[in-house]
């Protein structure tokens, strides 16, 4: 069988899994509703006001909620049942859409009211956004994750091919209010469907996190994860410039091009068709070229298409340009999304995706406001051409901030190299916890050890360490002590569940420098408070050593 045929078959292989099919169909329906609502709102705003700034503020109102609740949403998605959380988000969005539909049908809507309702609907979208992406690994084998994420992205873009065309036709026949009412009904259907998702979630005995602590842990992970930082920076820079299309196209279409609602829907339908094409070619691109090369080429194509859209006045040419734009957009969004998913472990996946959405939607909101304000003075066509120029300048980042090779990270959970045997009975909130690990290094490998342990420091900090130090023993040549602090006993316990095979590889490199690779002396301390002296364990076993071992196993710290 030809290689291209095998690649095409592999591109759709995740659909063999029932859980993924359910998630994909639900996501498709949700995004069709979202696009229908977006097109109807944009067309309604152009009917209520001729100001390019007000029209662009609609995109800001839709994206800005990611600034407010995007990060807490990611923490909630890592703590609570994801389908239930998604159902709550969908319910909120449906209520808002239904209310907006009633106001629009009654013809009592104003530009200000439309912005407010768009913002409220955006809150529900921001709450559910990290949940959709975090569900994908639960219903897909790890080796098919890139294809699953590409299909996930293609579903979003397929909805762009369907939703705008439906919305444009319904607006032409019945008006925007009916579109809002239909999307509300679709949302309530999804609430029922989400209760029947077939998925497998790993059972964990580790103490559950609280929202504030989960947010801190997520922020700490991002701060100490350079590969993830590169993805976020590249995404933010692209969205700041690339958001001009979404901010300016409604005003450009209606005021300068004079197209009707059906043609406006067809423009986005052409973009959605291009997205479907991108789904078919993306696996081949990823196998043939590096992610940096794919993103660079797609950005160049996207910028050229924006410039073409700013100059063309033929509807047929506009549809062709929008189709190619859809290919470039899908390649970029899929590449950014896969880059995030491939460099983060499961325990922080939803929070990492929430940071991704925070950056993506936040820069979309800022960019829409910026380009809308500029268009007020320069006109929409010239401003759209300016966004293309800025995208070209932003390509400098492609050479300064290269994607790391995250595909070769093994983020499968592993057993940590040491465990905690305790003689006291700490509570989850007790802390901070001090961990001291003693290393006796081969004399001729001391410098190698000091350099090798630095990547392990980043690993510790990603997994919950708030302070890390390496000390040299002045009384024994070649002895070093690694000291790190964790904010609480509960967080210390969670560290062991976050340990991955890639972390184990770092540990093995450090151990290779030891005089005896099996000998690491580990000691653990909890901060002593005058009013909180931790009591000893209740001796329910005959041998205190057995009791210590039992307690260590209870807090999930394997040997």
pLDDT tens digit at each of 559 positions of the chain = 444 444 455 667 777 777 788 888 888 888 899 889 988 998 898 888 888 888 888 888 888 887 788 778 777 777 777 778 888 888 999 999 999 999 999 988 889 999 999 999 989 888 887 787 777 777 777 667 777 777 777 777 778 778 888 888 898 888 899 999 999 998 888 888 777 665 555 545 455 566 677 777 788 888 888 888 899 999 999 999 998 898 888 888 888 888 888 888 888 888 888 888 887 888 788 888 888 899 999 999 999 999 999 998 889 999 999 999 999 998 998 889 888 888 888 778 777 887 888 888 888 888 988 998 999 888 899 999 999 999 988 888 778 888 765 556 666 667 776 666 778 888 878 879 999 999 999 999 999 999 989 888 888 888 888 899 999 999 999 999 999 999 888 888 887 777 777 788 888 888 888 888 666 788 889 888 887 778 887 754 444 444 444 333 433 333 3
Among 408, 441, 468, give the residue marking a domain's end: 408
Is 543 within a domain? yes
Q: How far is CA 440 from CA 130, 446, 473, 483, 505, in A?
A: 45, 9, 10, 15, 19
Residue 469 forms beta bridges with which residues? Answer: 483
316 and 176 in a single domain? The answer is yes
Q: Is the domain of 465 the same as that of 388? A: no
CA distance 519 to 346: 31
Q: Within this chain, do residues 266 and 324 fall inside the same structural domain, yes or no?
A: yes
Q: Is residue 420 part of a domain?
A: no
CA distance 521 to 436: 8
| Per-residue model confidence (pLDDT) at position 6 | 44
- Residue pair 38/158 in contact (Cβ under 8 Å)? The answer is no
Answer for the pair 382, 318: CB distance below 8 angstroms, yes or no: no
Residues 180 and 328 in one domain: yes
Q: What is the spatial distance between Cα 165 and Cα 153, in angstroms, rounded to a whole number?
A: 19
Q: For residue 129, what are its two tokens?
A: 């956004």
What residues make up the domain containing 519? 433-554
CA end-to-end distance (rounded Å), the chain = 48
For 231, the 3-state DSSP assignment is: helix
Please give the structure tokens belonging to residue 512: 């290779």
pLDDT score, position 300: 94
CB contact at 8 A, 318 and 326: no
Type and span of the H or E element at 468 = strand 465-472
| Residue 235 within any structural domain of the chain | yes
Last residue of a domain, one of 350, 373, 408: 408
CATH number at 50 reads: 1.20.1250.20
Asked if the structure places residue 428 within a domain, the reply is no
Q: Is residue 5 part of a domain?
A: no
Virtual torsion, Cα 73, 78, 81, 83, nearest 10 deg: 60
Same domain for 403 and 443: no
Same domain, 40 and 123: yes
DSSP code at position 517: T
Rounded CA-CA distance 79/389 in Å is 43
Three-class DSSP category at 422: coil
The sign of the dihedral angle between the CA atoms of 54, 55, 56, 61 is positive
Residue where a domain stops, chosen among 373, 408, 443: 408
396 and 510 together in one domain: no
Dig out the tokens for 330 from the structure.
Answer: 């899908």
- DSSP type of residue 533: P
Residue 151 lies in a domain: yes
Q: Residue 111 burial (CB < 10 Å; 0-12/13-18/19+)?
A: middle
Q: Are 115 and 258 part of one and the same domain?
A: yes
Whole-number Å distance between alpha carbons of 304 and 1: 36
Report pLDDT for 4.
46
**Token pair of 251, please?**
């005003």
Residue pair 129/85 in contact (Cβ under 8 Å)? The answer is: no
Q: How far apart are CA 261 and CA 46, in angstroms?
A: 11
State both tokens at 394.
Answer: 């932003």
Question: For the chain, how many structural domains are there in total?
Answer: 2
Contact 33, 183 (CB under 8 A): yes
- The residue ranges of DSSP E strands in 29-164, in sequence order, are none
Determine, yes or no, domain membership for 252: yes
Is residue 399 situated within a structural domain? yes
Same domain, 189 and 248: yes
Same domain, 212 and 155: yes
Query: Are residues 133 and 354 in contact, defined by beta-carbon separation less than 8 angstroms?
Result: no
pLDDT at 557: 36
Residue 69 sits in the same domain as residue 164: yes
Contacts with 257 (C-beta within 8 Å, 6 or more apart), sequence order: 313, 315, 318
Mark whether 493 and 360 lie in a shared domain: no
What pLDDT is stored for residue 542 in this prediction?
46
Instruction: State both tokens at 27.
Output: 């996501």
In DSSP terms, which residues pair with 427 in a beta bridge?
A: none
Report pLDDT for 296: 92
Structure token pair of residue 343: 């460099």
The CATH number for 440's domain is: 3.30.70.100
pLDDT at 200 (0 to 100): 54
Of the candidates 122, 202, 537, 95, the residue with the CA atom closest to the CA atom of residue 362: 122
Which strand (E) or helix (H) includes residue 11? helix 3-11
pLDDT at position 11 is 62
């Amino acid at each position: 069988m030809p290689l291209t045929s095998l690649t095409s078959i592999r591109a759709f292989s995740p659909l063999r899994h029932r859980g993924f099919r359910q998630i994909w169909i639900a996501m498709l329906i949700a995004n069709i509703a979202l696009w229908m609502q977006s097109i109807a709102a944009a067309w309604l705003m152009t009917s209520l006001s001729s100001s390019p700034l007000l029209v662009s503020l609609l995109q800001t109102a839709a994206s800005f909620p990611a600034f407010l609740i995007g990060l807490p949403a990611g923490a909630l998605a890592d703590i609570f049942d994801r389908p239930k959380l998604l159902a709550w988000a969908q319910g909120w969005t449906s209520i808002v859409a239904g209310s907006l539909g009633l106001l629009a049908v009654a013809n009592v809507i104003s530009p200000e009211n439309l912005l407010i309702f768009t913002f409220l609907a955006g809150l529900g979208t921001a709450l559910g956004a990290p949940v959709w992406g975090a569900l994908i690994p639960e219903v897909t084998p790890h080796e098919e994750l890139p294809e699953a994420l590409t299909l996930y992205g293609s579903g979003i873009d397929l909805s762009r091919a369907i939703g705008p065309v439906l919305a444009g036709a319904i607006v032409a026949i019945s008006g925007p209010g009916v579109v809002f009412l239909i999307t509300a009904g679709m949302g309530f259907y999804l609430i029922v469907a989400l209760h029947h998702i077939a998925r497998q979630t790993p059972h964990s005995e580790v103490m559950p996190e609280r929202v504030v602590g989960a947010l801190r842990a997520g922020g700490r992970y991002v701060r100490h994860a350079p590969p993830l930082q590169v993805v976020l920076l590249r995404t933010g820079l692209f969205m700041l410039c690339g958001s001009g299309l979404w901010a300016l196209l409604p005003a450009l279409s209606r005021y300068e091009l004079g197209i009707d609602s059906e043609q406006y829907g067809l423009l986005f339908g052409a973009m959605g068709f291009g997205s479907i094409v991108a789904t078919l070619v993306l696996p081949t691109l990823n196998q043939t070229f590096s992610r940096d090369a794919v993103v660079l080429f797609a950005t160049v194509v996207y910028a050229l298409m924006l410039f073409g859209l700013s100059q063309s006045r033929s509807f047929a040419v506009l549809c062709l340009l929008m189709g190619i734009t859809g290919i470039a957009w899908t390649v970029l969004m899929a590449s950014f999304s896969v880059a995030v998913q491939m460099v983060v472990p499961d325990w922080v996946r939803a929070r990492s995706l929430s940071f991704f959405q925070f950056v993506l939607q936040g820069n979309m909101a800022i960019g829409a406001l910026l380009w809308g304000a500029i268009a007020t003075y320069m006109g929409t066509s010239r401003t759209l051409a300016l966004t293309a120029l800025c995208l070209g300048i932003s390509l400098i980042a492609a050479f300064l901030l290269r994607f790391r090779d995250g595909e070769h990270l093994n983020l499968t959970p592993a057993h940590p190299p040491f465990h905690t045997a305790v003689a006291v009975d700490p509570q989850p909130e007790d802390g901070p916890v001090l961990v001291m690990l003693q290393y006796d290094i081969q004399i001729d490998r001391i410098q190698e050890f000091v350099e090798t342990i630095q990547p392990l420091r980043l690993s510790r900090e990603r997994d919950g360490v708030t302070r890390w130090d390496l000390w040299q023993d002045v009384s024994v040549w070649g002895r070093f002590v690694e000291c790190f602090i964790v904010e609480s006993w509960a967080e210390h316990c969670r560290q062991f569940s976050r340990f991955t095979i890639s972390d184990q590889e770092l540990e093995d490199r450090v151990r290779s420098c030891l005089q005896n690779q099996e000998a690491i002396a580990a000691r653990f301390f909890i901060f002593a408070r005058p009013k909180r002296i931790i009591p000893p364990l209740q001796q329910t076993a005959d041998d205190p050593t057995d009791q210590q071992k039992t307690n260590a196993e209870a807090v999930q710290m394997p040997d």
